[in-house]
Chain A
Amino acid sequence: MSREQLSFVRSHMLPEAPPPTAETGAIKWLRENLFSSPANTLLTLVSAYVIFKIVMGAAPWFINGIWDSPSLTACREILGGKVGGCFAVLTERWNQLLFGFKYPPELYWRPTLAFVLLFVAVAPVLFIKYLPRKLLVFTGLYPFIAFWLIWGGPIATPVFALLGVLVGIFVYFRLLRTSAGVAVIAGFLAALVFWILSGYLKAPFDGFLAMEAVASRDMGGFMINLMLGVVCVSLSLPIGILLALGRQSSMPIIKWICVVFIEFIRGVPLITLLFVANVVLAYFLPPGTNFDLILRVIIMITMFSSAYIAEVIRGGLAALPRGQYEAADSLGLDYAQSMQLIILPQALKISIPGIVNVAVGLFKDTTLVSVISMFDIVGMIRGPILASPEWNGVYWEVFGFACVLFFITCYGISQYSQWLERQLQTDHR
């Protein structure tokens, strides 16, 4: 025997063997996650059975669904006893579900355009790091454009409203040097005076660039939910911040006004406030006054959600270590500066989940307006659609559709907020 043959040390590497099949890919994943123990295996099998039953039960309903039929009876005739959804109600009443039953059909492009522009307007706010700051100008103009598009009427109305805001801002900055508090009040008064005066000035411009006006009571469908949601969330955030700061203020009057407001609004159900907006206000206003119903509802919902947001932000403020306040003071910053630069950025970051929670809840609460006979999407379904002789008896299809619309919106908001939290993450946990 030669020396080599006697060697018991391997002189070359064996090729790498593949791992056993049970330890790779899908099988490994299944073994580890679904069948790791007898109890786990049992649970997996039971769940798989339940899912299978649900899918098998629901699938024919979707697959046999009828998308084109004039009425529920016709739908059932087409189905001929088979299980199937009657989605034709969605195609036939599509515009009613989105815009309500009284918005003029030839004007549907206006709210649609306003909806598209909404994304353009919020993008610079939501993705402030990635888009040029100049785009914020459009965001500032958007409320006036959207108002003009949705309600129509002469362009003078939103233009004068915008001018009033500009006058207010101008006065604010002129007086900012003297005192911030005086500047806010003076700016507000200046805008108010301008708006009152513009009421007299506006008449000659009424015919100029006037689009067909649409009354508030003609609006409906998912459009109302979106309008109320967007307007109330964007208004209640700044108001909520002010209330939260006011509640922590050392000035007793401001503090108590904020405390009473927050506690009162939080102690009252939203639906009560809506009833007040709808029926009770009519008694207090002089007969014949027509205070726009949507405006009344916007005010009530904004009050409601700003009280909640104030409490969420107060939580954020309380979570900041005292050292942050003291650090701001020791840098010689005044109150406004320390809030803007040190406190609020951190407090708001902490409050994001809470704020989003309130925003999502508020958006879903907008369906409550159906009880004060406004035709939002739920009002449209419960009222005109289910009460029409053609579609009486259709439930799953229409309410499912409303669920889908709300889910898309709310899930989008929640995904954005999680993304934002990751963006703002500065600690190293």
Chain B
Amino acid sequence: MKRTVFLGTLTVAGLAAGASAAATLDDVKARGKLNCGVTTGLVGFAAPDANGVWEGFDVAVCRAVAAAVLGDASAVEFVPTTGKTRFTALASGEIDMLARNTTWTFSRDTDLKFDFVGVNYYDGQGFLVPKSLGVSSAKELDGATVCIQTGTTTELNLADFFRANNISYEPVPIETNAEGQQQYLAGACDTYTTDASGLASTRAAFENPGDHVILPEIISKEPLGPLVRHGDNDWGDIVRWTLNALISAEELGVTSANVAELGSAPGGNPEINRLLGTEGDLGAMVGLDNDWAKRAIAAVGNYGEVFEKNIGEKTPIGLARGLNAQWTDGGILYSPPFR
């Protein structure tokens, strides 16, 4: 997620993005397939199942865009990228968009010449501790040994947090999440820290998840979202508003089950009408037809449905909505109006 992007930065900065900038939409339509960059595998966010079909929270964004643009949620070529290859793949034009739980940061948005189109998951760094440690707050972790992935922003956040609270810790450097799980279970460290979503899925894979708790403190902001290249704002608009359509659909109560009915004729709520194209012509403004949002919602469901299906409380990962609830429900998910 936040692996050092040294190589990507170097290549991107060294060689200005030479790929053709404009008219990604035309390229995608001509190709008949959306090239979407995803991770090589992260529980709940993107992974192929036993039949080789990609599934997950980030995958749903790709499918929604494909449904909106091409009318077919399966017309996606998933290009698996690692933390090191993701930015070059996007900059070189190998992929049209990247939905790979990438943290939106200043330098990535500006220096690497990308546009983050929004946030589909608000994450933050947390702490996982065994219940037997008897700790209920991260501030009680004075003198603890902490398993931490080296070369990531989590390492820096950790140092900041402990310094700000004037307590000490001893880092146990690890390389990957898998190694972190093993070290933590083997008792090499008192607590393991990484993104809260990662902690939740790690904990879910334990033999006795009930013996471990995630502490309430979230010590960093990790807004994860899809991104596109600089230079083609039309294409960026399409991806941005497809994501917003999924979020608005949940707010307005449009689901994959009732979208066909609501979209067949103009109803009582003018915003739903505009969203589903029964009133006005928002689709034409982004270069698509008026059914674009209807297709996206029908294909993957609204934001809430995507969340529940892939990472929600009924799945093994079991993430609560938390910050990712709609603003009307106490979260910070807030789509600009469709008008």
Contact = CB atoms under 8 A, between A and B. Distances in A.
Interface of A: 72-73, 76, 92-93, 96, 101-102, 217, 275, 278-280, 282-283, 287, 370-373, 375, 379, 382-390, 392-393, 395
Which 10 pairs across A and B sit closest by C-beta, in order of nearness? A387-B41, A393-B205, A383-B41, A383-B40, A387-B47, A101-B52, A282-B92, A279-B88, A392-B205, A373-B80
A278 B92 CA distance: 11
Contacts of B40: 370, 373, 375, 379, 382-384, 387
A387 B93 CA distance: 27
Contact of B206 (A370, A373, A393): A393
Contacts of B15: 280, 283
Contacts of B92: 279, 282-283
A329 B20 CA distance: 61
A166 B89 CA distance: 39
B78 to A, nearest CB: 9
29 contacts: A73-B316, A96-B52, A102-B48, A275-B84, A279-B92, A280-B88, A283-B18, A287-B18, A287-B19, A287-B20, A287-B93, A372-B85, A373-B79, A373-B85, A379-B40, A382-B41, A383-B41, A383-B47, A383-B80, A384-B47, A385-B41, A386-B43, A387-B41, A388-B41, A388-B43, A388-B47, A388-B49, A389-B43, A393-B181
Given A375-B80, A392-B204, A382 B178 contact: yes
Nearest to B44: A389
Contacts of A73: 316
Nearest to B93: A287
Contacts of A287: 18-20, 93
A73 B205 CA distance: 8
B168 interface: no
Most A CB contacts (10 A, CB to CB) among B42, B52, B207 go to B52
Given A283-B18, A371-B82, A387 B52 contact: no
A389 B315 contact: yes
A280 B47 CA distance: 26
Interface in B271-293: none
A15 B20 CA distance: 100
B133 interface: no
A390 B316 CA distance: 8
Nearest to A81: B207
Central interface residue in A72, A279, A372, A390, by most chain B CB within 10 Å = A279
A275 B43 contact: no
B11 interface: yes
B201 interface: yes
B164 interface: no
Nearest to B86: A373
A96 B94 CA distance: 25
A270 to B, nearest CB: 15
Given A283-B18, A373-B40, A379-B40, A92 B178 contact: no
A289 B100 CA distance: 25
Given A379-B40, A392-B204, 18 more contacts: A76-B207, A93-B50, A96-B52, A102-B52, A275-B85, A279-B11, A282-B88, A282-B92, A282-B94, A383-B39, A384-B41, A386-B41, A386-B178, A388-B47, A389-B316, A389-B317, A392-B201, A393-B206
A101 B48 contact: yes
Contacts of A93: 50
B23 interface: no
A416 to B, nearest CB: 35
Contacts of B207: 76
A395 B182 contact: yes
A72 B82 CA distance: 25
B11 A280 contact: yes
A353 B241 CA distance: 62
Nearest to A385: B41
A271 to B, nearest CB: 10
A190 B79 CA distance: 38
Interface string B26-55: 000000000000011111101111101000
B204 to A, nearest CB: 7
A102 to B, nearest CB: 5
A424 B212 CA distance: 62
A95 to B, nearest CB: 9
A387 B317 contact: no
A275 B52 contact: no
B7 A275 contact: yes
A392 B178 CA distance: 9
A275 B7 CA distance: 9
Contacts of B204: 392
Contacts of B88: 279-280, 282
Contacts of B20: 287
B43 A392 contact: yes
Q: Which of A76, A275, A283 has the most CB of B within 10 A?
A: A283
A168 B279 CA distance: 68
B243 to A, nearest CB: 23
Contacts of A101: 48, 52
Given A383-B47, A384-B41, A387-B47, A373 B82 contact: yes
A279 B181 CA distance: 31
A92 B50 contact: yes
A348 B285 CA distance: 70
Contacts of A390: 50
A205 B88 CA distance: 38
B81 interface: yes
